[in-house]
């Protein structure tokens, strides 16, 4: 395995390096190029779907997935961007609901 | 002069402690006779005075009263406008610190140098804002110390324990969990994990919604229509919450300010615990995260120590007892132990081994020869929880032929997925022309005991290099000159 240096501006294909903004969320830039507009009339996702939990997953896999998501969204919950913070809060609630459903209440 | 002073600059309460000649720390009360000072500032409209503490909390107009400013210490856009002047979170915090310094120095002697506590996961801007606040208040910050570390120092000192300790610090605004090893006077931090915006004030908000719902049901009217009345009801919910830590059932009566009648609010401890259960489950996740970070099991923990006012909620103790199979202990007054520990830390800091608060790395295209897959990843150079001071290097390759400028994005965060890390800066290095891709570039991060990070990029072929201090220099950080000017201005203010 080898590692090639890639700055964000190069990975986005920009010629001129952009000025790095302190504490910029990498996702906010990448999302612009990687994600299309959200589909209209898309049915609301269940908490399992939000957390990427499938019916075939074993308990250990569910636990590991919830831990990974908690780590990610707990960090995002401190973001200065109110939108990211609100999304993170919603995800944290979903993570808690899935835990309660599969492992019982605390 | 007080030589060793520690300050807990809290979201809801702040306290100052100093080390007595016998080596034991003591809380110094403010001029109002209170051991802890409410972190609230009121700007009076009639007199040129800033009230800090319970007087500010109880009497002021909401538009002129600032609560929980600590939550915004890392937000350069959060400005409080009073009478046309815009105040930064650091300036508001400086008023709280000034009150502590002025009041407490009358008892313990002049205060010039202090240790200030911060949440374990406070980012660099929040840490810088805290230092700036202290400097504006006329105090030099000897060190910042993480709140749970300070609490653990006090616990180890007062209880004389040794072994592996997990500190669970659930305060007014944040939750911190730290695991550390204690052997006599020597303390080694293993890990710290934190959750911002998870604390007692979140529980108060949940209870406030219940009050409003009940009021609407019984009277058909809104419980509050303005901020002043909302604050009053919020105070009532906080009182009820505290009573529910001692009683199974609490009855309260509330009214709005529109003469819509009185409603009776019946609360049970069980009902309250159900209301906040989802928040408490988040605290369990955070404890598990700390254990995973330190590669430990619950049975590896010798002592569970409770810190912060919200750990008085009985369910918190029950959850931790169930998780660890032992009764959690509190180190005396859970509201005071952080300030007491900070005073001890001021003297003992050399014997306390801390760790990196975050992982630092860069963005790299990682190619896996086995799977032939290529993926843009956050490549961590210096992992979180590495004992400090430390230095780590990784060698990367250039991506293009004739690459003239090497760009290294500096990342902060543990996730491999670049969407879940922060890019906090960029280092550029000019290299000689006409070279093929694949030239080796070494990236080194160094972390010193003051949590300062430096990044060094070396082009191995040409020997050219560039080093920078990884620090936030953007909006919200005051220049030294501006800091001096504001500090001088603050000294002329009447703060009570």
The string of pLDDT tens digits covering residues B432-482 is 999 998 899 999 999 887 677 889 999 999 999 999 877 655 566 677 788
Residue partners of B12: CB distance under 8 A and separation at least 6: B38, B39, B68, B171, B172, B173, B200, B201, B309
CB pairs under 8 A between A and B: 158
Top-tier CATH class for A44-106: mainly alpha
Q: List the domain range (segments joined by +) for residue B386.
A: 360-470
Q: pLDDT tens-digit profile of B118-127?
A: 988 787 788 8
| Structural domain count of chain B | 2
Distance to chain A for B457, nearest Cα, Å: 11
On whether residue B385 sits in a domain, the answer given is yes
B99 and B450 Cβ atoms separated by less than 8 Å: no
For residues B39 and B126, the answer to whether their CB atoms sit within 8 Å is: no
Q: How many C-beta atoms surround the C-beta of residue B330 within 10 A?
A: 18
Segment 25-84 of chain A within 8 Å of chain B by CB: 25-27, 30-31, 66-67, 70-72, 74-78, 80
Domain boundary among B275, B301, B324: B275
The whole-number pLDDT of residue A28 equals: 37
The residue of chain B with its CA nearest to that of A88 is B420
pLDDT of B120 reads 83
Q: Which of B288, B426, B474 sits opposite A7 (nearest CB)?
A: B426
pLDDT attached to residue B185: 80
pTM: 0.87
Residue B364 shares a structural domain with residue B465: yes
Chain B hits for A17, CB-CB cut-off 8 Å, are 405, 407, 426, 428
- Residue B19 within any structural domain of the chain: no
User: What is the complex's ipTM, to 2 decimals?
Assistant: 0.86
| pLDDT < 50 positions in chain B | none
Closest residue by Cα to residue B176 from B145, B155, B203: B145
Residue B154 in domain: no
Task: Give a yes or no: residue B462 inside a domain.
Answer: yes
Q: CATH no. for residue B223?
A: 3.90.640.10
On whether residue B410 sits in a domain, the answer given is: yes
Confidence of residue A57 (pLDDT cuts 50, 70, 90): very high
Domain ranges in chain A are 44-106
Domain C-terminal end among B275, B308, B342 = B275
pLDDT for the residue A37: 43
| Whether the Cβ atoms of residue B453 and residue B427 lie closer than 8 Å to each other | no
Pick A17's closest partner by Cβ from B74, B407, B443: B407
The string over B348-361, giving b where at least 16 C-beta atoms fall within 10 Å of a residue's C-beta and e elsewhere, is bbeebebbbbbbbb
Contact B426 A20 (CB under 8 A): yes
The alpha carbon of B5 is separated from its chain's Cα centroid by a whole number of angstroms, namely 19
Q: Is residue B348 part of a domain?
A: no
**B421 neighbourhood in chain A, CB within 8 Å:** 26
Q: What is the per-residue pLDDT for B492?
A: 86
Q: How far is CA B354 from CA B163, B171, B496, in A?
A: 16, 22, 37
Residue B319 resides in a domain: no
Name the residue among B407, B420, B473 with its Cβ closest to that of A9: B407
- The answer to whether the Cβ–Cβ distance between B419 and A3 falls below 8 Å is no
């Amino acid at each position: 395995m080898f590692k090639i240096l890639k700055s964000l501006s190069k990975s986005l294909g920009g010629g001129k390096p952009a000025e790095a903004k302190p504490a910029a969320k990498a996702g906010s830039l990448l999302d612009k190029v990687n994600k299309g507009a959200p589909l209209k009339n898309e049915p609301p996702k269940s908490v399992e779907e939000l957390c990427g939990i499938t019916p075939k997953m074993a308990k250990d896999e569910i636990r590991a997935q919830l831990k990974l998501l908690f780590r990610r969204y707990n960090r995002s919950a401190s973001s200065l961007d109110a939108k990211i913070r609100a999304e993170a809060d919603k995800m944290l609630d979903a993570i808690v609901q899935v835990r309660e459903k599969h492992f019982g209440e605390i | 002069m007080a030589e060793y002073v520690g300050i807990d600059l809290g979201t809801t309460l702040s306290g100052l402690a100093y080390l007595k000649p016998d080596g034991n720390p003591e809380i110094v009360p403010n001029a109002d006779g209170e051991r802890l000072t409410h972190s609230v500032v009121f700007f009076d409209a009639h007199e040129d005075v800033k009230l800090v503490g319970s007087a500010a909390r109880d009497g002021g107009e909401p538009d002129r009263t600032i609560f929980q400013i600590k939550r915004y210490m890392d937000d350069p856009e959060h400005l409080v406008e009073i009478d046309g002047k815009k105040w930064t979170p650091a300036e508001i915090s400086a008023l709280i610190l000034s009150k502590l310094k002025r009041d407490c120095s009358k008892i313990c002697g002049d205060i010039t140098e202090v240790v200030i506590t911060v949440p374990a996961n406070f980012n660099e801007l929040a840490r810088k804002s805290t230092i700036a606040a202290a400097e504006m208040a006329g105090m030099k910050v000897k060190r910042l110390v993480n709140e749970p570390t300070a609490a653990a120092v006090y616990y180890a000192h007062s209880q004389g324990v040794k072994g592996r300790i997990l500190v669970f610090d659930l305060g007014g605004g944040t939750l911190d969990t730290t695991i550390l090893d204690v052997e006599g006077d020597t303390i080694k931090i293993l890990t710290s994990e934190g959750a911002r915006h998870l604390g007692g004030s979140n529980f108060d908000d949940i209870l406030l919604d219940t009050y409003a719902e009940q009021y609407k049901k019984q009277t058909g009217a809104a419980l509050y229509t303005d901020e002043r009345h909302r604050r009053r009801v919020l105070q009532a919910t906080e009182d009820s919450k505290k009573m529910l830590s001692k009683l199974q059932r609490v009855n309260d009566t509330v009214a709005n300010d529109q003469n819509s009648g009185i409603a009776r609010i019946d609360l049970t401890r069980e009902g309250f615990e159900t209301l906040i259960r989802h928040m408490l489950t988040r605290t369990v996740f955070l404890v598990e995260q700390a254990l995973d970070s330190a590669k430990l099991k619950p049975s590896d923990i010798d002592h569970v120590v409770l810190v912060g006012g919200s750990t008085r909620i009985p369910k918190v103790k029950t959850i931790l007892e169930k998780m660890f199979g032992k009764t959690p202990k509190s180190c005396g007054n859970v509201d005071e132990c952080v300030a007491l520990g900070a005073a001890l830390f001021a003297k003992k800091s050399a014997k306390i081994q801390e760790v990196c608060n975050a992982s630092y790395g860069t963005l790299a295209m990682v190619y896996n020869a086995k799977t032939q897959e290529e993926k843009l990843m956050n490549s961590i150079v210096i992992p979180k929880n590495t004992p400090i001071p430390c230095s780590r290097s990784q060698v990367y390759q250039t991506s293009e032929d004739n690459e003239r400028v090497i760009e290294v994005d500096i990342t902060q965060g543990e996730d491999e997925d670049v969407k879940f890390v922060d890019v906090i800066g960029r280092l550029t290095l000019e290299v000689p022309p006409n070279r093929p891709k694949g030239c080796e570039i070494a990236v080194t991060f160094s972390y010193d005991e003051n949590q300062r990070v430096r990044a060094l990029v070396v082009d191995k072929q040409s020997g050219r290099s560039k080093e920078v201090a990884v620090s936030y220099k953007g909006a919200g950080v005051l220049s030294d000159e501006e800091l001096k000017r504001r500090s001088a201005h603050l000294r002329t203010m009447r703060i009570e």
